[in-house]
Structure 1
């Protein structure tokens, strides 16, 4: 807490619990009883947290500063979301997404589709470092192909999101990977190697699950007539060409070379508008307008209309409002000292590796539920529990691995986080619908907890107390015998 808040005290744990219960009650009542938008529920929750701030003697100015700081720190996600909205609209209108879907339907076997979607999205996210970019490009195409094969969309979304977060968690190009290593004061390569202990078996098991479900759920003699109808409709509505895959290749290549995501995705949207004008024959002004309003398609195939009538910055405005309210809430909680209070309580409880793991992951989940963003969850997971790792002599590589498992991995599981909102709006499937099929995420969580209690890959270093005693001893002047 900053020096200008010396008059404020830390909230007590009963006060923190009361706010948490109140927050859950507000969410439940607004959504299920009064049928109000979740944005309003988060906005109302601001006043609940502010009431706690007043109780601990915090000024309005300090609370406003917390709100602004929270929103500021998450603005990158908002800008990425805005540009991805433009990209989706123009890539559909320009024939880029339809071409990917068309050729995917032509070459892909329905039985291995789920496995292929998982692997393709995993490789894309590993090479680009962005789950948002992966879902907005390869993910949207996979949804179209899966729908054409008659596979339930929540299952397809589970495969797409599972693959997208392989790279978000593991890629050295990922902002969350770099941020976690920095927060935990761990070398980036060491952090990735530590995560491999968990991610490698999770990837292997998830791959087998998607393969098994594909072979048992989808018959080898599956009716592909729907796919043929979709291909015919795509050919009638769009100019389909292998050259239209080039913008996707360019965008992925630029992201792979570590160019900033926002201008790269915006450039991809520009390429989409150019394709809509020069290839699809759309009026140039309308081709640009689509970046804001999204694509509009009328065909004789209803599910294709539903899938391809989307995108545009306008479609993301409600999502952006949701993220801003969630970010502000996270900033308020941090400013008032709620995170510090929780940290103090964990220090007394987490006295072994298993409990350390649980406390770190709960800290990440708390950041996602109350902060609404991956970056908040990484801060809460690492700062709440880092002292316990040092005191117990547990290497910080374990802290960084557990931070990603509790923070990054749980982000798309919460409906109002930036990741949860983005995946639901981009893929067209509600968070609670795709949640049961996020097998990679569930495996990472389960394996991480198992390692903690089984003491597997829990590396040790001299504890903080031992180091202090040793330093004190070594610093003494030599005495004569």
Structure 2
């Protein structure tokens, strides 16, 4: 017979994972895979001791993995895209014109704004990072800007649109789960996200003030331009390929077919524009593009991509979602969130608790969507009981869930960024300013009551009746 798992027991696998993770990453300097497997094993043993049959525990693991299957497919396609676009000269062309047009001192601000515009148009942080982000890394590194700074700026811009675009899946998920009108939800998020963006741009302007002042940096940029011209056919017409992919996604073509179009066009560009053999183009898709220019920075930047480069990311996603699946489907995560909910005595505490719960879910379940889904289930009735409008909950879910997923190297977002931009979460974390400043602003608003809106009594009665009707149905 199954026993309800208490908070004290449910927290054990989480604590074990944190301790083993700290030792493995900080002391041994290894990847998070093994700590997550250890945490999954501890969680499975606890579930088994609590009366769950092994078949049920196994199914919980599979359920966790199923949630990430679409993400895994996109991760693999992004690997193919990077290989095809580097081989096809598309990335080289984007970097070439970027170096021509962008000023080093304003690069961090510029790339953030570009990613904001693109992500708002297409509603996807991953697609933005997998296209504009890859080129942005090349431009920034060519200008002598540290990779973590460049990655942080790209992530901040990409996640602005992921949070604010009406085309974004997380935006629609948060509004839908809380029964909040989509545009009411977006307008309410402006109060936290716009100040966050302004602060972010101010920080990047400050950080970038010293870049590009030296003649050595200018000479490095000129050398990079010459190397690109020597080894690739640079043409503005190649820019039509990423533009087409962005337009397709903006037109609500699903991400997978849109990326496939980009891969095919990149492959054809490598063969017919760059003049490489079909064998070389297939090799770029499978194991990544290979080049030897004699320029270490250019070689490091362009020797990458391909399906095989994403296998670390895919394996991390599977392991992380196995751990999250056991925690969720055996009730352990619910026990942890219930304990947090007990601490939220006031409306102010409720919003702050929601944000912390989203962050904790991102850390334990390793999936951005789960960090929105589970807290939305757990807190919906509590917001109604305290007379708070549902848009307070939907905003808290995005402030705490959507944005903080990037800070955990075992979260699907963290592993995707590592595979795509090549920078570890712990390295770019201090520079992903938007992603940590918005949750802070949101918590400050909650503690002061600013923009925390009460539900009109008429709407409260209507929602209560609607909830009762759904329960009786």
Corresponding residue for residue 396 of structure 2: 402
How do 1:249-268 and structure 2 match up within 5 A?
249-268=243-262
**8 A contact 1:354–1:455 mirrored in 2:** yes
Cα separation, partners in 2 of 1:305 and 1:216, compared to 1, 3 Å: closer
Give, in angstroms, the shift of residue 40 of structure 1.
2.3
Name stretches of at least 5 consecutive residues in structure 1 with no aligned partner: 1-6, 472-481
Spell out, residue by residue over 1:172-217, the C-alpha distance to the aligned partner (whole angstroms, 9 max, x if none): 1111111111222212111111111111111122122212322245
**8 A contact 2:193–2:438 mirrored in 1:** yes
Q: Which 10-residue stretch deviates more, 282-291 or 392-401?
A: 282-291
2 CA distance for matches of 1:412 and 1:382?
A: 20
Cα separation, partners in 2 of 1:348 and 1:468, compared to 1, 3 Å: farther
**8 A contact 2:143–2:212 mirrored in 1:** no
**8 A contact 1:63–1:332 mirrored in 2:** yes
Corresponding residue for residue 170 of structure 1: 164
Give, in angstroms, the shift of residue 469 of structure 1.
13
Give, in angstroms, the shift of residue 222 of structure 1.
7.1
1:181 to 165, 172, 175: 175
1 CA distance for matches of 2:183 and 2:174?
A: 12
> Who wins on radius of gyration, i.e. which is larger?
1
1 CA distance for matches of 2:164 and 2:50?
A: 40
1 CA distance for matches of 2:319 and 2:3?
A: 25
Spell out, residue by residue over 1:91-124, the C-alpha distance to the aligned partner (whole angstroms, 9 max, x if none): 0010000000001111111111111010001111
How do 1:141-290 and structure 2 match up within 5 A?
141-216=135-210, 218-219=212-213, 223-290=217-284
Q: Which 10-residue stretch deviates more, 322-331 or 20-29?
A: 20-29
What RMSD over aligned residues (CA atoms) do the two structures have, in Å? 2.0
1 CA distance for matches of 2:268 and 2:394?
A: 43
1 CA distance for matches of 2:228 and 2:124?
A: 28
Give, in angstroms, the shift of residue 30 of structure 1.
3.4
2 CA distance for matches of 1:76 and 1:384?
A: 25
2 CA distance for matches of 1:292 and 1:192?
A: 40
Corresponding residue for residue 468 of structure 2: none
| 1:9 paired to 2:3 | yes
Corresponding residue for residue 305 of structure 2: 311
Corresponding residue for residue 134 of structure 1: 128
Spell out, residue by residue over 1:221-266, the C-alpha distance to the aligned partner (whole angstroms, 9 max, x if none): 6731111110000001111111111101100110111100011112
**8 A contact 1:343–1:383 mirrored in 2:** no
Corresponding residue for residue 355 of structure 1: 349
Give, in angstroms, the shift of residue 18 of structure 1.
2.0
1 CA distance for matches of 2:113 and 2:400?
A: 23
2 CA distance for matches of 1:41 and 1:18?
A: 14
Give, in angstroms, the shift of residue 438 of structure 1.
0.9
Give the TM-score normalised by the residue count of structure 1: 0.93
**8 A contact 1:125–1:165 mirrored in 2:** yes
Corresponding residue for residue 474 of structure 1: none
2 CA distance for matches of 1:469 and 1:85?
A: 46
**8 A contact 1:409–1:441 mirrored in 2:** yes
Give the TM-score normalised by the residue count of structure 2: 0.94
| 1:434 paired to 2:424 | no
SS in 2 for 1:172: coil
Cα separation, partners in 2 of 1:306 and 1:274, compared to 1, 3 Å: same
1:56 to 16, 28, 50: 50
Name stretches of at least 5 consecutive residues in structure 2 with no aligned partner: 466-473
Q: Which 10-residue stretch deviates more, 216-225 or 138-147?
A: 216-225
How do 1:105-116 and structure 2 match up within 5 A?
105-116=99-110
Corresponding residue for residue 475 of structure 1: none
**8 A contact 1:95–1:280 mirrored in 2:** yes
**8 A contact 2:366–2:411 mirrored in 1:** yes
1:75 to 65, 69, 79: 69
Corresponding residue for residue 96 of structure 1: 90
The number of residues matched between the two structures is 465
1:425 to 409, 412, 419: 419
Q: Which 10-residue stretch deviates more, 274-283 or 21-30?
A: 21-30
